[in-house]
Chain A
Amino acid sequence: GDSVTQMEGPVTLSEEAFLTINCTYTATGYPSLFWYVQYPGEGLQLLLKATKADDKGSNKGFEATYRKETTSFHLEKGSVQVSDSAVYFCALLDDYKLSFGAGTTVTVRA
């Protein structure tokens, strides 16, 4: 079945540092890929998406490229802020079923 594996955390960074969270997937079909973000005490918010190979999703300075050859969808941000502290989930959507990675907790210190 479909599955998502993402980098384990927690990750602690200083402000303005570069952030990368690795995500790889296994799928039998042609899934769409997403990154969701969960701020403390809140639900999940869609951060960015890519629906086919070589698509690049971007939002709020975050980027991720759908790489079919490496089955990856790594999340990157060039300069993080304290407000980026959250849990980040990589997810795969195929045939209406959403499969999530375990989540990566990111803490950004001033």
Chain B
Amino acid sequence: NAGVTQTPKFQVLKTGQSMTLQCAQDMNHEYMSWYRQDPGMGLRLIHYSVGAGITDQGEVPNGYNVSRSTTEDFPLRLLSAAPSQTSVYFCASSPLRISGSNQPQHFGDGTRLSIL
């Protein structure tokens, strides 16, 4: 039972390079999201999706793009990496509400990204 799988686990980029962080889930969850974790700031929502073909911005979307062509995959793209994007990135997924109740999100193990 894989859950939420993120690749790669570690990456070092140079300023200006582009990169895609991969996220896949095998639980048939409609909702998927990306967060970044920085010291002393908890996790902040970058982008999210409530289903294939639907995406929306979170709290800190600038510098990142996403797409959701399938239920399973939700890649995060950095078009031109900047040192301020050095962080740990987490992908999460969950079902939509069940019987009106919000459902907890399941997290991947994270991608540690350094921008030099």
Contacts and interface: CB of A to CB of B under 8 A. Distances in A.
Interface of A: 4, 31-32, 34, 36, 42-46, 49, 51, 89, 93-94, 96-103
Contacts, number: 58
B83 interface: no
B26 to A, nearest CB: 16
Given A43-B90, A43-B109, A96 B104 contact: no
Contacts of B43: 44, 89, 98, 100
Contacts of B50: 96
Contacts of B104: 32, 34, 46, 49, 93
Interface of B: 31, 33, 35, 40-45, 48, 50, 58, 90, 92, 94, 96, 101-102, 104-110
Contacts of A44: 43, 90, 92, 107
User: From DSSP, what is the main secondary structure of chain B's interface residues?
Assistant: strand
A33 to B, nearest CB: 10
User: From DSSP, what is the main secondary structure of chain A's interface residues?
Assistant: strand
A32 B42 CA distance: 18
Contacts of A42: 109-110
